[in-house]
Each structure stands twice: as C-alpha cells, then as structure tokens.
Amino acid sequence: MSATNFSTTTAATVSTTAPAATPTAATPTAATGIAPVLTAPPAPTAANSPALQAAIARGAIAILGTGSHAPKNIVTNDDLARQGIDTTDEWIRTRTGISSRHIGANGEATSDFATRAAQAALADAGLTPADIDLIIIATLTPDLPMPACATLVQQKLGARADIPCFDLNAACTGFLYALDTAWAMVASGRYKHALIAGAEKLSSILDWQDRNTCVLFGDGAGAAIIGATRARKSTFAGSHFSPLRAGTLPPEIIGVRLYCTPDTELLHIPVGGSLRPHTAGTYAQRQHYVQMKGKKIFKIAVREMERAAREILEQHNLTTNQIALVIPHQANRRIIDAIAKNLNYPPDRIFVNLDRYGNTSAASIPIALDEARRSGRVHPGDTTLFLAFGAGLTYGSALVRW
C-alpha cells in the first residue's frame, strides 16, 4: 500500500571540545551483553590550544535559531484503519501514544523538508543562506544514494558554493551526532555558522502492510543554526572530558555524549546496501522495509537513555532540578514515561509532541525543540536536556543553555 493513497487532513506547516584522544575499546559485559561506556584518557594540553582559545575569544558556541517543517498531509490512526491496516485508534494510542502523523506526498523529498526547516531556522537566527559555511544533514532517508542530501539542501537554499556539505546517518540519534560534529567544527575556528538538520521521509521505507512498524513513524524535518554568541563569556565545557566550570552562564552548548552499542539487527533494513543489493526476490519478500524487534528495543532504549542522562548531568555537575525541560526522542510514550519516572522528572518538564508526529527519527528532537521554543516552553537562561536512541544501536544526550 502506498503511503500517499491515504485520505488525509490538511494542516499548516508546522564541541566546543578539546581534541579527543582515542577512546579505549569497550567489551560487552557477560551479564547484559551491552558494552560499558567508552572511556578516554585526558587531554591535558587541549585547554590551552590556540584553536580553543580563539573560539573562546569569539564567544560561546550556541544554538542561534531553530526551525521545523512537516508535510501538510496528516494521517490519523482512524485513517490507517480505513485503509485496510489491521489496527484501531485505541490499539495504537494505548501502546504508543500516537494519534496522527504527517506523511509526505509523491514528489516530496527529504531535502524539501530540510530546506523549509532550514529557512525557518535562518529567519529565527536573523541570518541568510550566505551566512552559512557548513551544512550537515542527519538522515537515513536521503533523496538519493548520492549525492548527499546536504548538497541538495545547499542548492535549494541558494547557499554559497564554497562550503562543505555532507550527510550523516546515526538513525534516531542523528541530530545529536550532527550537533556535536557542528559544535566541534565551529569551535575549530574554520567555520562561523553551521546549519544542521534532522530530516526524514520515513514513509518511503515503511511496509504499509505491517502494523508493527507503519503506525509508528512519520515525515518531517527540524533544523538549527550553530554559531558563536558574544552575549556573555564562555565557560567552554568539553564533550566527554572536563565538567562545566564555575563562572558566568552564557547561552551555549554545554556538552554532548554519544554512544554506540553494536546490535545491528534489532532495528534495520535488511537489504539495499552493498552487502545485499535489491533483487526481485528481496522485493517479493518485502525485505527493503524497516524491520524491528520492538519489545527488546523498548527495554534497551529506556536503560540507555536514562544512563546517558545521568552521565551527562554528573559530568557537568548538574542535578535534575536544574534542568528546565527534557526533550526526549519521540518514539513511544511508554518509553518517555519510563525515563521520566526513573529520573524523577515531573511531566510538566518533559516535552512531548509524539501524539501529533509519531517517530520522525533524526527529525524528532529538532522538531520538538522548535515547537518547545515557539510555544514558550524554553526561556533565556534555561538548560534543556536532549535524549535520543536509534538503530545501531546509537544513543546519546546533550545539554544546551539558552
């Protein structure tokens, strides 16, 4: 069943880090089969490096603006049931918390969503495409195998032709990977303003006969502009290294922690790459669609996102009471509720828009962030915590002060 055959409703569009030493390899424990957090030796001379000092002089590295976009077509749970999928609104809502999702039309592509989100982020930051000198798109559904989706966004934005543009794929954790990458590249002094976006057209890789997967996902994009701010003096904490230092509190990216515990079959697309190219047989067996083992993923997602939260707070000497808002990956309401309970976060400090978007993978956190900011849930001086988990299995956390 094609995703674009739905009867739908129309809606409005909605580090600075020291150079890292090589981490020590981790070995899965016998009890859990999960590798412990990677550790890295300290980099004692990094704090005095010319590149870092130059970045500090320019100002703290911060998120300067955000934007988001979702396709106009809204598909409700009832729409799915009417199209012959073996499900009901109650079945989906009670198991996932999802009521509807945005689905792109034929002819719409991931780069279209990313471009519109980027335009909104640029306007929010008071910048133009000419001000951007780095573009990173986090996606697992690029328009084409090549060229990179980022180059198509560059073209559609009318950005300069002398800038680097590339994609990265860390699945649902992709936006945090892009954030950390852009943060480090801007802090190097070689780039002034980076555009990052999480963007997906997941409807193009879903089996619309499989109710265990097709009801979960949606399409859309969220973007952010990363650059230096001269508002206040920087404190410059590192990604996996130094804790937040005492002093002034500028708007800035405080820290990012990224992880990957190898388990490549819990959530994957079995064919379509160099290992197993598409064939008539794999198409007939519907192996070119997303496949997942939801129950196992649920347990690991709760455990590892909780761990990522605790470790980044400990690293930067913060407590849960100092976090104004938590923006988790929007995958499943039960996962979000379990993390909130385990971390003792009250519901009013957890941002959730899962009910209206479903799981948009790499776009999940930046769409939620943009909505949170525009709805007045984020204020100057607030510290927000991002948590994500995705295929790989990748996961991570980030702290951002506004």
Report, as residue numbers or ranges, the catalytic residues: 172, 329, 359
Written as one letter, the residue type at 102 is H
Q: b or e along 256-270 (b: 16 or more beta carbons within 10 Å of the residue's beta carbon)?
A: bbbbbbebeebbebb
Residue with tokens 């109650």: 90
Q: Which residues contact 123 (CB under 8 A, 6 or more apart)?
A: 65, 67
Sequence-ordered strand ranges (E) for 131-263: 134-138, 165-168, 193-201, 219-229, 252-263
Question: Which strand (E) or helix (H) includes residue 282?
Answer: helix 280-284
Which of 304, 328, 317 shows the shortest CA–CA distance to 384? Answer: 328
The answer to whether the beta carbons of residues 177 and 170 sit under 8 Å apart is yes
Residue with tokens 């981490």: 23
Give the separation between CA 299 and CA 241, rounded to whole angstroms.
Answer: 28
Q: Which residues contact 307 (CB under 8 A, 6 or more apart)?
A: 37
Give the separation between CA 243 and CA 88, rounded to whole angstroms.
Answer: 48
From the CB of residue 49, how many other CB atoms can be counted at a distance below 10 Å?
Answer: 14
